[in-house]
């Protein structure tokens, strides 16, 4: 059974930083397609960044240069370092994993496994 559990969300001021964690069980973060998505109130869930099994990353334009995805294979944990946060980054952040054999693209419908989400709130 695949489980993803996010943590690390919270409230920060504009320009602040947060690091989100996603602890994974039931699959290996190093051998699959892993991603972070976010969903702001009243908006569609959108892809933030993904990392594939070769380490290739794809970032949404809105977070390039500010967010960094990484993984700890020994801990089987995915991270999202978020810097220079703005109110537009306020959202529920979700960790996601794709099933084996699915194309590794930053599209919500391609991901089968989801965490429960962690809230990030950025205030001015």
Tell me the pLDDT of the chain (124 aa) as tens digits: 999 999 999 999 999 999 999 999 999 998 889 999 999 999 999 999 999 999 999 999 999 999 999 999 999 999 999 999 999 999 999 999 999 888 999 999 999 999 999 999 999 9
Distance CA(72)–CA(77), nearest Å, equals 5
> Residue 26: which region, alpha, beta or left (left: phi > 0; alpha: psi -120 to 50)?
left
CB-based contact 20:93 (threshold 8 Å) = yes
DSSP state of 110: G
């Amino acid at each position: 059974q695949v489980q993803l559990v996010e943590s690390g969300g919270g409230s920060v001021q504009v320009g602040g930083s947060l690091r989100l964690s996603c602890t994974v069980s039931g699959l290996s973060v190093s051998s699959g397609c892993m991603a972070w998505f976010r969903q702001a109130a009243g908006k569609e869930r959108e892809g933030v960044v993904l990392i594939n099994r070769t380490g290739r990353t794809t970032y949404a334009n809105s977070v390039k240069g500010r967010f960094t995805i990484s993984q700890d294979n020994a801990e089987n944990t995915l991270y999202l370092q978020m810097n220079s946060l703005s109110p537009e980054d306020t959202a529920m952040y979700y960790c996601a994993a794709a099933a084996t054999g699915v194309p590794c693209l930053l599209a919500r419908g391609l991901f089968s496994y989801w965490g429960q989400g962690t809230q990030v709130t950025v205030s001015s």
